[in-house]
């Protein structure tokens, strides 16, 4: 049960950080504003420069009609949580903190009864 608690705690922390990042996008005084600006510029580069080799400018304009290419942090959060879950299952199939099976303790009364038979 400890692994489930740790996993739930990690997901709640990731949710909180991404909510703060969403708020920080509009306020340069907040802590994660630089990170969200960097993620937006990296996403914009990926779509326009790297993706521009694959698809046309018209395709980009149809996908982003306001000509403002920003990363949807909610989608990134879901993708990262999914990737973390898949990697955790691949690395440790028994869970984050695998439970150790416990053998029941034999009482002396049961031992005496069995030896009497």
Threshold 0.85, pTM exceeds: no
Map out the domains of the chain as residue ranges: 2-98
pLDDT tops 90 at residue 25: no
What local confidence, expressed as pLDDT, does residue 113 receive?
Answer: 58
Cα separation, 83 vs 85, in Å, equals 5
pLDDT in tens, 53-71: 888 888 888 888 888 888 8
Cα separation, 80 vs 84, in Å, equals 6
Report the chain's mean pLDDT, rounded to a whole number: 82
At 108, is the pLDDT very low, low, confident or very high (cuts 50, 70, 90)? low
pLDDT in tens, 75-97: 888 888 888 888 888 888 777 67
Centroid of chain to Cα 33: 20
What local confidence, expressed as pLDDT, does residue 42 receive?
Answer: 92
| Residue bearing tokens 């698809």 | 55
């Amino acid at each position: 049960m400890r692994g489930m608690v740790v996993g739930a705690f990690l997901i709640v922390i990731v949710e909180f950080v991404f909510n703060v990042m969403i708020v920080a996008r509009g306020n340069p005084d907040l802590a994660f504003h630089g990170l969200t600006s960097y993620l937006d510029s990296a996403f914009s580069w990926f779509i326009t420069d790297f993706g521009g080799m694959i698809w046309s400018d018209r395709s980009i304009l149809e996908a982003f009609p306001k000509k403002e290419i920003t990363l949807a942090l909610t989608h990134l959060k879901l993708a990262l949580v999914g990737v973390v879950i898949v990697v955790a299952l691949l690395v440790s199939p028994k869970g984050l903190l695998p439970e150790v099976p416990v053998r029941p303790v034999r009482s002396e009364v049961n031992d005496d009864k069995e030896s009497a038979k």
